[in-house]
Amino acid sequence: MLRLLDDFSNFLINHRDLSQNTAVSYKRDIKQLIEFLKTRDILQPQEVNQTTLISYCMKLEQDGRAPSTIARSIASIRCFFHFLAKEKHIDENPASILEAPKCKKRTPQSLSKEEIERLLEQPDTSNFKGSRDRAMLEILYATGIRVTELINLKLEDVNLSMGFLNCNGSRGKSRIIPLGGQAVQSLKDYIERHWSLQPGLDMENKLFLNVKGNPMSRQGFWKIVKAYAAAANIKTDITPHTLRHSFATHLIENGADLKSVQEMMGHSDISTTQVYAQMIKTKLRDVYSKAHPRA
């Protein structure tokens, strides 16, 4: 079955319009399923039945996997066997009966404005690394773009004089997002004093490079954020995505309308954006109940 995984990945990207990262996650889930099937001496797709797949899902639960992880694995399995049926590798789809567990929506983790300020103050902008890191952090907080979108930015995607960037989303959709003054200044400093001095670069090259001159990776930036969070004495276990959540939360706290925030974040459904508004309402209720003498 492993030989079918590359075809499955192409199917996800070209026919299901999923992002590269989602396709990688689905492929990883199916590799884990195949390893389980090997322990049952099941090596061919047509040998898989409903009972086997249910046993695998029960094993995931027994192993202590989170409901969200099990739900994604089931989505991957359903999609994989749909692909196998479509390509005539199997006659019947044994995964059609699988149902994902209901997942409680997690409240997005965001930082306070004071924590954001401490985080942004950490990079030493006198050198290449610090200037680059400050620009990346400022852009992430100023625009709320995803990490993949950030590391894929090119010089042609930013307009410093007008103060905006063109963000190319994971599914080929682009959106224009304003850049705040501090983000513009940090990015200008990085481009003029460091990026533009790298040999052989042009408008088509990635904007954010590692110290070896290669494009920054997701994992590399994740480590950068962790290091600066520790230096800023931020106790919350943050990731780059935390800055995206903070962007949305602080905008809505200051009166931004949900539709505008939805467009800037690239949410296809406004219900995703409404989570931030609901979180703020909950926070206000907590403050009221603690502070008002007749609450």
234-255: per-residue pLDDT in tens?
A: 988 888 888 888 888 888 777 7
How does residue 198 score in pLDDT terms, banded at 50, 70 and 90? confident
Say what the pLDDT of residue 274 is: 63
87 or 289, which is more confident: 87
Residue 211 domain flag: yes
Q: Are residues 123 and 227 in the same domain?
A: yes
Say what the pLDDT of residue 1 is: 78
Kindly state the DSSP code that residue 40 receives in the 8-state scheme: T
> How many structural domains does the chain have?
2
Say what the pLDDT of residue 144 is: 87
Task: Please give the radius of gyration of the chain, using alpha carbons only, rounded to the nearest integer.
Answer: 23
Helix (H, G, I), strand (E, B) or coil at 42: coil
How does residue 106 score in pLDDT terms, banded at 50, 70 and 90? low
- Domain of 56 in residue numbering reads as 2-97
* Location of structure tokens 């099941």: 42
Alpha-carbon distance values, 93 to 49, 53, 90, 96 (Å): 8, 11, 7, 6
Residue 88 domain flag: yes
As a whole number of angstroms, the distance between CA 118 and CA 251 comes to 19
How many of the other CB atoms lie within 10 Å of CB of 69?
A: 16
CATH number of 30's domain: 1.10.150.130
Residue 280 domain flag: no
The count of residues in the chain is 295
Q: What is the mean pLDDT of the chain?
A: 84
As a whole number of angstroms, the distance between CA 213 and CA 128 comes to 11
Residue 11 domain flag: yes
Say what the pLDDT of residue 260 is: 74
Q: Are residues 31 and 80 in the same domain?
A: yes
Q: Are residues 136 and 75 in the same domain?
A: no
Q: Are residues 186 and 225 in the same domain?
A: yes
Mean pLDDT of 40-65: 91
Residue 291 domain flag: no
CATH number of 216's domain: 1.10.443.10
